[in-house]
Structure 1
Amino acid sequence: MDDSQKTKDALLEELQDLRKALRQNSADLEQFTYVASHDLRAPLRGISNLSQWLEEDLGPQLSQGSRRQMELLRGRVQRMEGMLDGLLDYSRAGRVHHKPEPVPVDRLIHETLERLAPGPSARLEVGPGMPVLVTERPALQQVFQHLLSNALKHAGREDVRIRVEVEATPAFHHFSVADDGQGISSRYHEKIWSPFQTLVSRDKVEGAGMGLCVIKKLVESRGGRTWVESAEGAGATFHFTWPGSEERLT
């Protein structure tokens, strides 16, 4: 064996070791996130319960201002629990896979919106050609749930209009979820996909800032990609590509 072949073999072995270490580090990080998000729930519940008991014990001795502070404290606990839920969703997104099954996407979208209980003036339009995909139903539903929820929360008004469309490509289906809400400035188009990122104060719009991060991991772990088209004041269209063979109905 010549020196060049030995060098190639050594580099290949080193690359394999690095890949193995990277996979292990990723698994360790996901496990840490999963355990930490579980273990933090107990003290949070304790804080919430203690504030409730204090309020009940002190009764009329507690001023209106102090009662308001107790409510704010419990609100912050709920926000932290929401962030932990987001971390759990994120840790599961890349490692938990489900058995593919036929999924009528049109029905899935409508069922997902119903669970979110939008106001009576909100409108959903589903474009033609929605397929019946043989795919992971829980993961695809989670993607649509986050996107529809974001459209409702950030619209800035009750009569938001949401339109979902699809375009079939050779390897993927390209879905888009558009709304006529407040829109997103181009300087935030990359930032919004990072963990715990919100463009509006959480005191105005409650949220953990994990939804789009979870979507990105769900989609990319299945070979797809995500992006957004938007301008401030002109609504937003979120795009993602999703694998899955289309079931032909006879």
Structure 2
Amino acid sequence: MDDTQKPKEALIAEVHALREALRRNSADLDQFAYVASHDLKAPLRGIANLSQWLEEDLGPRLGEESRRQMELLRGRVHRMEAMLDGLLEFSRAGRASHAPETVDVGVLIHTVMARLPDGDTARLEVGTEMPTLFTERLPLQQVFLNLLSNALRHARGEGLRVRVEAREAQGFQHFSVTDNGPGIAPAYHEKIFAPFQTLVARDKVEGSGMGLCVVKKLVESRGGRVWVESSEGATFHFTWPRRIEAERS
């Protein structure tokens, strides 16, 4: 018997069973991410502390090359901690819902930028059409935090410049974040949204490789989509539901 011949009750039962299986899988992922983020961090901190104590105990007897290796080891530990944090953030993204509130997106962008390293020295250009939305503040803030942080990490060393623009698009707000970095080859436009993916060696650009993956999950869980275009620099686009727009005063 194919699916078209199955009784309606049997199909409904299958749907419920699939939903329950997805719920259990999601719960397992949350538990794994929690364990990874909390239990695995303790031995990592121990490694970092031991290297610091060894360096202090040996003092001048520790050569420059050995000292450099100790710093490299601690850098690897911090990177692993960042990856574990990213894994936990990804497992939570899109699952938690927040009460909608009035959000002035222009103010939100400036607030996020001020929290970021190099955010106070970069040239931030915000379009004149920034909306005021009645929406979930924290998820939208996290999307901008990850995209702006990504832009600053990959923008050119001098003259950091980031531009954010917005326009309406069929029930959604279309946002774009553009940097003046080296750009992204078309072959990598999909790859960068996968977990733990970076296009630049982590020794050169720090990052967990989870930021864009989290952006994708947050945006898609709210019915939007995210994509990148690149020629001179890179432009990340995403759509976000407008819901109820508040009137500007």
TM-score, normalisation: structure 2: 0.92
- What are the Cα deviations for residues 42-76 of structure 1, in whole angstroms up to 9, with x where unaligned? 11111111111111112222221111111111111
Aligned to 1:155: 155
Match of residue 138 from structure 1 = 138
Instruction: Report the Cα offset of residue 160 of structure 1.
Output: 2.5
How far apart are the structure 2 equivalents of 1:22 and 1:115?
Answer: 36
Matched, 1:219 2:219: yes
The number of aligned residues is: 245
Identity %: 68
Shift of 1:33: 1.0
Displacement of 1:120 after TM fit? 6.2
Q: What is aligned with 2:92?
A: 92
CA distance in 2, matches of 1:159, 1:6: 64
Cα distance per residue 1:79-118 (max 9 Å; x no partner): 1111112112111212222211111100110111111142
- Secondary structure at the counterpart of residue 94 of structure 1: coil
Answering whether residue 75 of structure 2 is matched by residue 75 of structure 1, we say yes
Q: Which moved more, 1:8-17 or 1:155-164?
A: 8-17
Give, in angstroms, the shift of residue 34 of structure 1.
Answer: 2.0
| AA aligned opposite 1:237 | T
Corresponding residue for residue 111 of structure 1? 111
AA in 2 matched with 1:133: L
- Shift of residue 23 of structure 1? 2.2
**Structure 1 residues 107-159: Cα deviation after superposition (integer angstroms, max 9, x where no partner):** 11011111114266521111112111111111111111111111111113221
Displacement of 1:163 in angstroms is 1.1
Q: 2:247 matched to which residue of 1?
A: 248
| 2:228 is aligned with 1:228 | yes
SS state at 1:86 partner: helix
Q: CA deviation at 1:30?
A: 2.1
Moved more, 36-45 or 186-195: 36-45
Change (3 A) 1:19 1:120: closer
The question of whether the paired residues in 2 share the 8 Å contact of 1:191 and 1:197 is answered with yes
Q: 1:5 to 1:190 in 2, by over 3 A?
A: closer
The equivalent residue for 1:126 is 126
Could you report, residue by residue, the CA deviation over 1:6-37 in whole angstroms, capped at 9, with x for unpaired residues?
54432332232122212221221122112221
Q: CA RMSD in A?
A: 1.7
Query: 5+ unaligned residues in a row in structure 2: which ranges?
Result: none
Looking at structure 2, the residues matched to 115 and 140 of structure 1 have their Cα atoms a distance apart, in angstroms, of 15
Q: Is the 2:146–2:212 Cα contact (8 Å) retained in structure 1?
A: yes
Q: 1:66 matched to which residue of 2?
A: 66
Q: Match for 1:240: what amino acid?
A: F
Contact 1:134–1:245 (8 Å) recurs in 2: yes
Please say if residues 121 and 158 of structure 1, whose CA atoms lie closer than 8 Å, have aligned partners that are also in contact: no
TM-fit CA distance, 1:195:
0.5
User: Is the 2:156–2:180 Cα contact (8 Å) retained in structure 1?
Assistant: no
Cα distance in 2 for partners of 1:122, 1:6 equals: 61
Query: Taking structure 1 as reference, are residues 120 and 22 closer, same or farther at Cα in structure 2, changes over 3 Å only?
Result: closer
User: If the length of structure 1 is used for normalisation, what is the TM-score?
Assistant: 0.92
Is the Cα–Cα contact under 8 Å of residues 162 and 179 in structure 2 kept in the other structure? yes
